[in-house]
Structure 1
Amino acid sequence: MTEHTERSAQPRVYDIVAVSFVAFLLISNIAATKVTALDAGPIHLVFDGGAVLFPLTYILGDVLSEVYGFARARRVIIMGFAASLLASLTFWVVQSIPAGPGYENQDAFVAVLGFVPRIVAASICGYLVGQLMNSLVLVKIRQRWGAKHLWARLIGSTLVGEAFDTVIFCTIAFAGIIPGMEFVNYIVTGYAYKVGIEVVFLPITYRVIALVRRVEHLKSEEVFA
């Protein structure tokens, strides 16, 4: 076994990327309980609070798939949703326990965090399908065309993954709550925003992937098994 193989056998920063992914997912699920709107001139945009941080989970998903392979990326995705389920169960138990003396925010707690289970259900269904499709498309493009054209892999996988994710998430989370054409606006805005963020951040994603590869002592054509 060569020195390079020995150094590459155990990932050095996989745990950092994995924990960051799970943290971003949990925070986004809570922030997504708030629906907001923004008028940018003649354009009316409807979105939820998860839009602030959630796109970064797709960037980390690209790093996981590109550097560590589909199997390791899938493991982190599943871990993220296991943590989300635990958070959802915890909030449900806590809101069901009677409020103690002096606590006057029970209704506010239920109104905000009581909606988290629906957000988590939407997130699990949407993101699980979307992120797995994102990782699968990225890996398939890599297998077909090799390590070249990273930009095509990242953008192509994003277009597919975000489409699945956005439609499924928005439908489960806010169908029947956001009315009529505002709901269509919400889906279109969410998809355009997420894809736009990833395209704008593409140069940063390139640098992050290159940095992680250097730390892991991997060449451009290598991935962890």
Structure 2
Amino acid sequence: MTTADAFTIIAVTFVAMLLISNIAATKLFGITVGPAHFIFDGGALLFPFTYVLGDVLAEVYGFAKARMVILMGFAASVLAAGVFLIVQAMPPAEEYANQEAFEAVLGFVPRIVAASLLAFLVGQLLNAYVLVKIKERYGPKRLWVRLLGSSVVGEAADTIVFCTVAFLGVLTGANFWNYVLVGFVYKMTFEVILIPVSYFVIARVRRLDERAQVA
């Protein structure tokens, strides 16, 4: 495998995870632990991985390449939303009995996608930008500081924008702030747990680059 192959795999995986998360995010679910009740959306299962991959892209390939992949994800999400809207508007066949179910689930996707697009652009670009700027200022050491520092900024922006655009009005009062806070804490906890994975992937891709230069 070459560094170009690795970049392609990471980029495709990044976009795929974003699209799946957009659809999964149409469902809210709650978990009760004792007296506490936590509200999540389905996108929480997969979306944090996009930040891990975003960190890898920015750290190994630089801000320009990371931005290109982010814009690819943006374009794919716009296309998906457009297709869902067109399919929803087309008259259902007489044999098709699931139009209401389709609208109930995927009919909400355009709002989710709008929220995701805004949050995605703000959060991911801030994440990549902050990571690169920390590296430029303090050097290549302490990768964990760059990973966490950039993620705190990016995830905070992403969570606030997404939750506000996607579910403000659907969730109100304490439930809305529960959703925002739980989402941010969950994503950051996920990021911390996956730091060893980020280290492994970054080191592996860099070794591929070193072998390519020697060859």
TM-score, normalised relative to structure 1: 0.91
- Which runs of no fewer than 5 residues in structure 1 stay unpaired? 1-7, 220-225
* Residues 95-110 of structure 1 mapped to structure 2, 5 A cutoff: 95-110=88-103
Deviation digits for residues 85-123 of structure 1 (CA, Å, limit 9, x no counterpart): 000000000000011121100001011101111011001
Selected match of 1:54 from 35, 47, 59: 47
How much has 1:40 moved relative to structure 2?
Answer: 1.8
1:191 maps to which residue?
184
| Residue identity (%) | 58
Deviation digits for residues 143-185 of structure 1 (CA, Å, limit 9, x no counterpart): 0111100000000000000000000000000000012110000
- For 2:202 and 2:34, the matched residues in 1 are separated by 37
Structure 1 counterpart SS, 2:5:
coil
Moved over 6 A (4+): none
How much has 1:192 moved relative to structure 2?
Answer: 0.3
TM-score, normalised relative to structure 2: 0.95
The yes-or-no answer on 1:83 pairing with 2:66 is no
Structure 1 counterpart SS, 2:26:
coil
Letter matched to residue 19 of structure 1: V
Q: Which moved more, 1:49-58 or 1:37-46?
A: 37-46
- For 2:206 and 2:20, the matched residues in 1 are separated by 27
Deviation digits for residues 52-111 of structure 1 (CA, Å, limit 9, x no counterpart): 000000000000000100000000000001000000000000000011121100001011
Deviation digits for residues 188-216 of structure 1 (CA, Å, limit 9, x no counterpart): 00000001100011111111111111123
2:31 maps to which residue?
38
The yes-or-no answer on 1:112 pairing with 2:136 is no
Letter matched to residue 66 of structure 1: E
The yes-or-no answer on 1:210 pairing with 2:203 is yes
- For 2:207 and 2:5, the matched residues in 1 are separated by 10
How much has 1:218 moved relative to structure 2?
Answer: 7.5
